[in-house]
Chains A and B, each alone.
Chain A
């Protein structure tokens, strides 16, 4: 039962990534693209964590933490660039 649930969750997040790619290709404005990339990072974090549960290794949690940090910093930096024309003032 656990194997089936893991496979279902991984398939759901993979399908969500495909939907995100579609949104990224057809996004109308620039903040939409930033939001889509942020959502892709969230989905990839979930995929990494679920792979760690499937392979039963604790290393993948560190990779997920690293990706969460870089995803947040990149989103805020891109928004700051759109707002002010520069990142560090």
Chain B
């Protein structure tokens, strides 16, 4: 294995690992539920994508046989990540009801201006 290919594979591995860690840390750290949807997409696309490319290159360089299952895994993940994100956002919108004050107390409801006397 030549030095350039080894440097390329190592850089891809380091980038993928860093992005996977950043995605999970963002899932733990961000405040809102909709914000938390944003962080793991980085781990899905860049983290796993770079790891798959690096692993496919490493096995090709070691064994001389090109395997296309890695490309298949990456394509499947890239296709299904927006769908699962959409379903999670829909479930969040469905379950997260806004709390309104009880009637008769004079408190304004959401979107209403308080009545001036």
Bound together, the chains give a CA A16 to CA B14 distance in angstroms of: 14
Q: Is B77 a contact partner of A68 (Cβ separation < 8 A)?
A: yes
Choose from B6, B20, B91 the contact partner of A79 (Cβ within 8 Å): B91
Known contacts: A9-B14, A11-B17, A61-B70. The answer to whether A19 contacts B87 by CB under 8 A is no
Q: Is A46 a contact partner of B48 (Cβ separation < 8 A)?
A: yes
Which chain B residues numbered 35 to 64 have a C-beta less than 8 Å away from chain A? 36-37, 40, 43-44, 47-48, 51-52, 54-56, 58-59, 62-63
**A interface SS class:** helix
B95 at the interface (CB under 8 A from A): yes
Which chain A residues numbered 1 to 46 have a C-beta less than 8 Å away from chain B? 1-2, 4-6, 8-13, 15-17, 19-20, 22-23, 28-32, 34-36, 38-39, 42-43, 45-46
Question: Closest approach, in angstroms, between the C-beta of B31 and any C-beta of chain A?
Answer: 10
